[in-house]
Chains A and B, each alone.
Chain A
């Protein structure tokens, strides 16, 4: 007994002694158990992504509220792009592509859980390709707008159009890089399952952000 007391001094790591004592955030302390001490539990990656999305949401909310405030500003001068200039056909198609990519991603995640690796790789790849299509569609929308003489500096309405789509496009490009990284790159600390969950969380979130941006752009340029 004395020997065990030497090895494990009191007040330290007593499993069950004092309970897991987790706060109201729930969960079970550090997860992986003592051997994994220096490695954070997998849950932290999901938490971290959730927190990061909070910051990203504020970034987009700042841009959108700037658009709303600017459009209603007393100084006036907002020239709506209108249905004539707003490339709404391409944007609608792009929205459908992105929605489809969320569906294929959910399918891939589902196949991963079912240990069907081949189907997982298939649907995961389809998602990335749809993401590339979406970005290509956004470029076409830019070209259409530029062809109509609406450039970045033409009017706040066109400026906001380019800034919002570019900001979202960059984030989605990061998402595609993330999808490829999950597919081709193995990490030491991050399990494959967690990596897939984190990448999915990000992708679905970017899908949701785009839906909101699309509605804002439609409403702001009527």
Chain B
């Protein structure tokens, strides 16, 4: 009898959540609700971002087709640039920074370390609502007089610092952009304080650093990058705002003439912005991609039924990538006329990031090598993540060399590179996380056939969009041009543009399958039990969805590492982290059922 009652794993019971819609769903301090809020914010943002990119692709393929919603029918070059700017900004800040860290990190970091919530729940709520405010601010840029800014997501001065004289959208629109990014910086800083403190101080007994799931390592390192880089961006946008509104000249040199108007500024230096911006901007790339690496590691191990290959090397390489990420900002500035010796130093440091990246890639391959592979949708997206990370990363080795970058910098080659390595790869990480954790977050399962269809269409589609882009880039197709039909050597690329646009439209349409699957499964998906993937980490030892305090009044203790799959001699092919050595030989029904 007592053996039966010694059910392994917690016996959660619901702790009452605050009643009332406002406190429960809107101004909740529960990290799970906040995680879902971040996720839906990112879902909204990604929809806007995709629509903007499809408009760009449409215009590139058919520049002379009238669009009904544009005044006058034809898209003007500055409107195209506004699309470029808003697509980049929204995708990078409100999707790639918001979903993997704010969304999944918020939801699963506390559960995976066995905590009841974040260290500072109210601060957490404030972070989300500041992010929301920043997003609203960013969207307002579309509707203010002059429209959205046209200076790109990097907002280089002097054009971003002078106001309306530099073009429509550079008035109120650019100001809204700067204010929005400033608020976003504050939100990210507050969020990172929470993530770091929670990881340091809130771990369950037995959850040593070397027992943290690699997802937690990734979120932890990402939070450190956020903490150290967003403060720098905040300083930069404060200076830029002063240049625009208070007449200072931090970034504006003397003798500047714009549109035939001599600007009465003196003493500033535009490159100062580039240094500050990219000191943030390069770590930002890793803020977007590191959580995806964590999820890929987690999912590959789970669906290979094998321990992760080289756990310690995986954790150390995450830290190494994060550290090196702060030393390479100059590789974005090779064409700024920098000292060749500086260029060489930045180049060598950039190439050295290939070492920890290769460690990760080979460890992923080592993890699935010889595993009992289960090709469920999360696994497919994790493999897709590795695929895009490798393809996109390889072109980075070319771009890291100043001599090659000088030629390729202003071409589609760069667009292809960063879309594959940080855009598509990171999105695949988000998709892997969504399909993997959906059952835990909503207590229901997404459709596997639709998930697989979504995967194959997106996987093939993304390669069809971005592989040809390398070729026309290497052949000299200039990025940021609104219309390639004007010059004869550019017209030659038009059939490729047409192909990429069709691929983009198909890939965009494939996302409707995801949306359908997601929202249909929320209501009608099959009920998920506590541990549908037969996984080891703590989030799978509690109910789906977890109770308010995550473990229902129970304090988990941790006895083992996060990836104990197929352990010889164990009763089952996975051993949950909270299973003590005595119980691991008796089977893990309790942990799996979560009741």
Contact = CB atoms under 8 A, between A and B. Distances in A.
A209 to B, nearest CB: 13
A77 B254 CA distance: 9
Interface in B1-49: 1-2, 5-11
B166 interface: no
B203 A18 contact: no
A18 B205 contact: yes
A114 interface: no
Interface string B253-275: 11000000000001111011001
A167 B10 CA distance: 49
Contact of B205 (A2, A21, A58): A21
Interface string B189-221: 100111011101111111111111000000000
A13 B197 contact: no
Interface residues of B, number: 78
B335 interface: no
Nearest to A21: B206
B549 A52 contact: no
Interface string A187-215: 00000000000000000000000000000
Contacts of A29: 203-205
A122 interface: no
Contacts of B238: 163, 167
A49 B589 CA distance: 42
B333 interface: no
A40 B268 contact: no
B234 A159 contact: no
A58 B232 contact: yes
B537 interface: no
A51 B555 contact: no
A19 B558 CA distance: 9
Contacts of B234: 59, 62
Contacts of B200: 25, 47
B249 interface: yes
Interface stretch (A67-75, A91-99, A103-111, A131-139): A67-75
Interface stretch (A3-11, A81-89, A173-181): A3-11
A10 B6 contact: yes
Contacts of B10: 9, 11-12
A6 B3 CA distance: 10
Contacts of B250: 66, 70, 156, 159
Contacts of B1: 2
B207 A21 contact: yes
B229 interface: yes
B580 A10 contact: yes
A126 interface: no
B156 interface: no
A78 B558 CA distance: 59
Interface string B112-142: 0001110110000000000000000000000
A220 to B, nearest CB: 14
A115 interface: no
B570 to A, nearest CB: 15
Contacts of A6: 5
A18 B549 contact: no
Q: A interface, how many residues as a size bin? A: 35 or more
Interface string A11-55: 111100111111111010110001001101101100110011011
B478 interface: no
Nearest to B541: A11
A10 B583 contact: yes
Contacts of B271: 73
A41 to B, nearest CB: 6
Contacts of B246: 152-153
A10 B247 CA distance: 67
A182 interface: no
A11 B2 contact: no
Contact of A48 (B2, B120, B203, B556): B120
B267 A77 contact: yes
B239 interface: yes
A153 B248 contact: yes
A37 to B, nearest CB: 6
Given A6-B5, A17-B580, A43 B201 contact: yes
Nearest to B247: A153
A56 interface: yes
A12 B206 CA distance: 11
A59 B231 contact: yes
Nearest to A27: B201
Contact of A9 (B11, B253, B266): B11
Contact of A62 (B120, B235, B253): B235
B542 to A, nearest CB: 11
A37 B554 CA distance: 9
A136 B15 CA distance: 51
B267 A9 contact: no
Interface string B149-189: 00000000000000000000000000000000000000001
B227 interface: yes
Interface string A149-168: 00011011001000100010
A147 interface: no
Contacts of A70: 250, 268-269, 272
B242 A62 contact: no
B268 to A, nearest CB: 6
A12 B555 contact: yes
B579 interface: yes
Nearest to B267: A77
A10 B590 CA distance: 10
Given A23-B210, A55-B227, A153-B248, A14 B203 contact: no
B428 interface: no
B249 A30 contact: no
A155 B579 CA distance: 66
B459 interface: no
Nearest to A31: B201
A26 B292 CA distance: 29
A9 B6 contact: yes
Contacts of B566: none
Given A11-B556, A13-B555, A52-B189, 13 more contacts: A10-B7, A10-B8, A11-B10, A13-B205, A30-B115, A30-B205, A55-B192, A55-B193, A58-B232, A59-B231, A62-B235, A66-B275, A155-B267
15 contacts: A5-B5, A11-B9, A19-B206, A21-B558, A29-B205, A47-B201, A51-B197, A54-B228, A55-B228, A62-B234, A62-B235, A62-B276, A70-B269, A153-B247, A155-B249
Interface of A: 1-2, 5-6, 9-14, 17-25, 27, 29-30, 34, 37-38, 40-41, 43-44, 47-48, 51-52, 54-63, 66, 69-70, 73, 75, 77-79, 152-153, 155-156, 159, 163, 167
Going nearest first, the 3 A-B pairs with the smallest beta carbon separation are: A21-B206, A23-B209, A77-B267
